Amino acid sequence: MLMHNPPHPGEVLRELCLEPLGLSVTAAAEALGVSRKTLSAILNGKAGISPEMAIRLSIAFDTSAESWLNQQSQYELWHAEQHRKELKVKKLVAA
């Protein structure tokens, strides 16, 4: 079952990981081994969580990589479902 309008994982990352630790974007990016621009794009919902980033986050925050990828998947699927009726797809049935 899909969550109703799930938050972008970047929002979760900011609110549940960075803010409680008092981390700046620059400090968090350095700890993750990525550029500030890369982390900022995720935090602002302009980029998604890749498998590699999920692993980086799991190491840094002692979480599972799967949890980050699941959040990203739920976010993308919910937004794609909002355009389901626009898709021109024919139902296939056995002959």
Residue-wise pLDDT tens digits, 42-91: 999 999 999 999 999 999 999 999 999 999 999 999 999 999 999 999 99
Please tell me the predicted confidence (pLDDT) of residue 72.
98
**Pairwise CA distance, residues 95 & 79, whole Å:** 33
Instruction: Report in angstroms the alpha-carbon separations of 73 from 4, 7, 51, 77.
Output: 13, 11, 11, 6
CA pair distance 19, 12, nearest whole angstrom: 10
Place 95 in a pLDDT band, splitting at 50, 70 and 90. Answer: confident
Amino acid type, 2: L
pLDDT classification of 1: cutoffs 50, 70, 90: low
| CA-CA-CA-CA torsion sign (16, 62, 56, 24) | positive
For 60-71, the pLDDT digits (tens) are 999 999 999 999
